[in-house]
Amino acid sequence: MVENFEPNIVVFACNWCSYAGMDLAGTSRIQYPHNLKVIRVMCSGRINPVYILEAFANGADGVLVTGCHPGDCHYISGNYKTRKRIILLERLLEQFGIEKERLRLEWVSASEGEKFANIAKEFVEQIRKLGPNHIAKELRKEVAVV
Amino acid sequence: MNKPRLAIIPGANCAGCDYSLLDLGEKVIEVLMAVDIAYWPTAADLKLEDLEKLPDGSIDLVLFEGAVNNDETEEMAKLARRKAKNLIAFGACACFGGIPGLANVASKDGILRKAYIKSLSTVNQQGTIPCKLTRLDGIELTIPEFLESVKSLDQVVNVDYYLPGCPPPLKLVAEALTAALSGKLPPKGTVFGSMKSVCDDCKRIREDKKITEIKRYHQLIPDPERCLFEQGIICMGPATRGGCDAVCPTVNVPCRGCMGPTPGSQDQGARMLSALSSVIGLEVETGVSDEEVRKLILQVKDPLGTFYRYSLPKSIMRRVWGVRE
Ligand code: SF4
Ligand code: SF4
Ligand code: FES
C-alpha cells in the first residue's frame, strides 16, 4: 500500500434518488470520507462513458456511479442502460490496463443515506488498497512528447 | 500561372490510400495535369532530397498517409508540415492511427520479441532483434526505431484538414482535391465527411428491436433489408462518421468504423459502448438479475479491438497501459 495515499474519487449521482440519498447522509450528520467529488446528473443513464474514461484519464483513482434502484428510474429505463454500460465498461477498462475494481455501480435511493455512507467508506478503502491510478501520469507524459 | 504543387507523403501506411486515388479513374489524369507533383514515392520517381530542397511552405497541398509509428515516419510528418501550405491527414491511419494504431495494445519490445523470436514460424537461435544502430566491418547501419506508442498525425504536428476512411471514399477525395485545386478549401480543421453517422446514410430498416444474441458474421446469412445490428451482428454504424454512403452495410457487411468517431464525439469506443448497451438487452429488464445481464452483454468478446479498430491512438486512453508483452 502506498503511504499517505488519499484516493481521489469521482461520484456520479442521479438527481432523483442517489443525490438525495447523499444529501440525507449529510443532513443526518452521517460521516463519510471526504475523498469524493460528487457530480450530479439528471439520471444515471445520462452518464456518457466518455465522462468515466475522462475521469480515469485525468487522474481519478476510482469512479462510483450511483442511480435509482431498478424499477425506480424517473426516466423508466436509464438505470438499466447504465447497468449494461458499466458491465461492458469494466471489461473495456481491464483491456486498457485499468483494474475493473476502480469502477463501481451502486443503487442508492433517496432514503438510503446510511447505505451511501457505507458504500463510500468501503469504496475508498478498496481504492486505498489498489493504490493510485498511474495512467493519468503516463498519459500526460505521452501527450507532453508532442 | 504556376500549377499548384502536390505532395503525397507516406508514414506507416499500406498504400491503400494511393489506390483510392487511382480509383479516380481517368480523372486522376486530369488531376495530374493540373498539378506539379513534388513528391509521391508510390507513383513518381522523385527522391526525398528533391522534397527537402523545396522552400518551406511551398507545397500547396500535402496529403500525409499512414500513422506515425517510428522515428522515420515522425521525421516524415515533420517534413510534411514544414513543406505544406495545407496539410491533410489522408486516410484513417493519419487521422486516428488506424490499423497500425492497434499496435498500442502491445509494447514496443513485446512486438519485436513476438515478431523476431517467439512467433512459431521464426527460427532465431541467437535471439537477434533489430536495433537502431549496427556496426559491421567499420560501417554503421541504422534503421528506424519504433516509438513507444503509435500516433495519429495530429499528435505529432498541426493538421489542417482530415480525410478519413480506409481507404478514403472516392467522393470525398474528389471533393477535397477539387476544393484544394480551385483554392476553395473550407475552414481549417474541417473533416471531409458528413456531419451525421453511417446509420444516417444506411438504407436498412431499423425497427428499434433489442437483440439477445450477438452473432459472428459467418454464423448467418443476413436479411438484406433489415439493420445488421438488429440481426445480432455488431455494426459500428451508430458510432462512425458518415460520408462513405454506408458502402459496407449496403453490401451486407457490417461497418467497422473506418471513418472514425461521429462529429462531436471524442471517443469512438465510448460512443459504440453506449449504442451497444441500447441494442443488446431484453424488451423489459425489470426483475432481470445482474448475472443474466452480464451474460448478455459480455457476449462482446473484445470491446477494445472492435470499438477502436481504427482509432485507438486517438481515443481518450490512447493505448493499453502497463503491457510488457
Ligand atoms: S447499425 Fe449498421 S446496418 Fe444498422 S442502420 Fe446503422 S449502419 Fe445500417
Ligand atoms: S461503412 Fe463503415 S467501414 Fe465501411 S467504409 Fe463506411 S465507415 Fe468505413
Ligand atoms: S433517474 Fe435515477 S437512475 Fe434514472
- Residue A102 to residue A99: CA distance in whole angstroms: 6
Nearest CA to ligand 1 atom 5: B199
Together in a domain, B159 and B139 = no
pLDDT at A1: 58
C-alpha cell recorded at residue B55: 522552400
Together in a domain, B249 and B274 = yes
Q: Ligand 1 in contact with B237 (CB < 6 A)?
A: yes
Residues 102-121 (B) with a CB less than 8 A from some CB of A: 105
Q: What is the pLDDT of residues B194-247, one digit of tens each?
A: 999 999 999 999 998 899 999 998 899 999 999 999 999 999 999 999 999 999
Question: Any CB–CB contact under 8 A between B282 and chain A?
Answer: no
B324 in any annotated domain: no
B232 in any annotated domain: yes
Q: Which ligand is nearest the CA of B258, by number?
A: 2
Q: What is the pLDDT of residues A50-65, one digit of tens each?
A: 999 999 999 999 999 9
Q: Which domain holds residue B292?
A: 198-312
Running DSSP on this structure, what letter comes out for residue B116? I
One-character DSSP codes across B44-97? S---HHHHHHSPTT-EEEEEEESBEEEHHHHHHHHHHHHHEEEEEEESHHHHH-
A64 in any annotated domain: yes
The residue of chain B with its CA nearest to that of A85 is: B277
A3 in any annotated domain: no
Together in a domain, B53 and B166 = yes
- Closest-CA distance of chain B to residue A75, Å: 13
Q: Ligand 1 in contact with B255 (CB < 6 A)?
A: yes
Give Cα B306 distance to the centre of its chain: 13
B76 in any annotated domain: yes
B40 in any annotated domain: yes
Residue B237, φ and ψ in degrees, nearest 5? -45, -50
**CATH number of the domain residue B87 falls in:** 3.40.50.700
User: Do B36 and B113 form a contact (C-beta atoms < 8 A)?
Assistant: no
Together in a domain, B49 and B138 = no
B190 in any annotated domain: no
User: Do B234 and B300 form a contact (C-beta atoms < 8 A)?
Assistant: yes
Question: Any CB–CB contact under 8 A between B304 and chain A?
Answer: yes
C-alpha cell recorded at residue B127: 535471439
- Residue B15 to residue B2: CA distance in whole angstroms: 29
B220 contact partners, CB below 8 Å, separation of at least 6: B231, B232, B233
Can you give the pLDDT of all 325 residues of chain B as single tens digits? Answer: 689 999 999 999 999 999 888 888 888 888 889 999 999 998 889 999 999 999 999 999 999 999 999 999 999 999 999 999 999 999 999 999 999 999 999 999 999 999 999 999 999 999 999 989 999 899 999 999 999 999 999 999 999 999 999 999 999 999 999 999 888 999 999 999 999 999 999 999 999 889 999 999 889 999 999 999 999 999 999 999 999 999 999 999 999 999 999 999 989 999 999 999 999 988 888 888 999 999 999 999 999 999 999 999 999 999 999 887 6
Q: Ligand 2 in contact with B248 (CB < 6 A)?
A: yes
Percent of chain A with pLDDT over 90: 90
Q: Which domain holds residue A89?
A: 9-142
Q: How far is the CA of B234 from the centre of ligand 1 (A)?
A: 9
Q: Ligand 1 in contact with B226 (CB < 6 A)?
A: no
**CATH number of the domain residue A23 falls in:** 3.40.50
Helices (H), chain A: 18-27, 49-57, 78-96, 113-130, 135-144
A124 in any annotated domain: yes
Together in a domain, B57 and B112 = no
Question: Any CB–CB contact under 8 A between B43 and chain A?
Answer: no
User: Do A111 and A22 form a contact (C-beta atoms < 8 A)?
Assistant: no
A4 in any annotated domain: no
What are the distances in angstroms from CA B105 to CA A94, B149, B168, B229? 12, 9, 25, 26
pLDDT at B174: 92
Residue A45, φ and ψ in degrees, nearest 5? -70, -10
Q: In the sheet that A103-107 helps form, which strands lie side by side, from edge to edge? A: A36-41, A9-14, A62-67, A103-107
The residue of chain B with its CA nearest to that of A94 is: B320
pLDDT at A145: 55
Considering its fold, how many domains does chain B have in total?
A: 3
B75 in any annotated domain: yes
Q: At what angle do helices A18-27 and A113-130 cross, to 10 degrees?
A: 100
Considering its fold, how many domains does chain A have in total?
A: 1
Residues 210-269 (B) with a CB less than 8 A from some CB of A: 265-267, 269
ipTM: 0.94
Together in a domain, B132 and B251 = no
Together in a domain, B280 and B202 = yes
pLDDT at B255: 98
**Spatial CA neighbour of A73 closest among A102, A47, A42, A118:** A42
Confidence of residue A4 (pLDDT cuts 50, 70, 90): confident
Q: What is the pLDDT of residues A70-91, one digit of tens each?
A: 999 999 999 999 999 999 999 9
Q: E strand or H helix at B204, and its extent?
A: none
